[in-house]
Amino acid sequence: MSEEDDIRRGLRTLAADPPPVGQLAAAAVRRARTARTWQRGVLVTAALVVVAGGVATVGAWRGGDQDTPLGVTPPSAVATVTQLATGDPATPDIGTAYPYQLFVHCGIRYARFADRWWETTPQQWVPPGPPGGDRNYVPGTMTLIRADRAQFRSTGPPLQVDFWLMAGDPPLCQ
């Protein structure tokens, strides 16, 4: 009998009657399956966190529950901005952009412009300001769109907020 015949006979014996799988091999298979399931769970969780963070960021930049995204003004409310004025006049011209520092300490809800109070609904939140900067104010311009509507546009991150004229004074910051 040759060595090749011995190998064939041994393989036939193994195929006909395989040895039982030991407890160590079964435990290794279980551990591998558990690790693979855990890794998949971690990857899915990380992907969900990234997507949720993106949605939250977009929501913050859009201004929360607004019907129109920031940066998009309905055509019926557009005023052409022809010049950048200086100062804050008591009677601003419609369509003229005035330099403005929007107070955002408690979010964006009220603004004082042209000696009158303005309100946006719903209250909006702004992303944190730049490190080392004044995080209570966002620099930009305020434009009177109509007699009862003003619009703020930031000069930094894209932020546009529409304000409506209020009848009285706003409540204190809470």
56: its two tokens:
């939250």
Asked whether 142 and 101 are in contact (CB, 8 A), the reply is no
Residue spans of the domains in the chain: they are 3-62, 75-165
163: its two tokens:
């304000």
Residue with tokens 């990234």: 50
d(CA 108, CA 170): 12
d(CA 40, CA 48): 12
pLDDT digits 0-9 by tens, 50-77: 666 655 554 544 444 444 444 444 443 4
pTM above 0.75, yes or no: no
Which of 111, 138, 132 is closest to 123 using CA atoms? 111
pLDDT digits 0-9 by tens, 135-174: 788 888 999 999 999 999 988 778 889 999 999 888 887 6
Asked whether 126 and 159 are in contact (CB, 8 A), the reply is yes
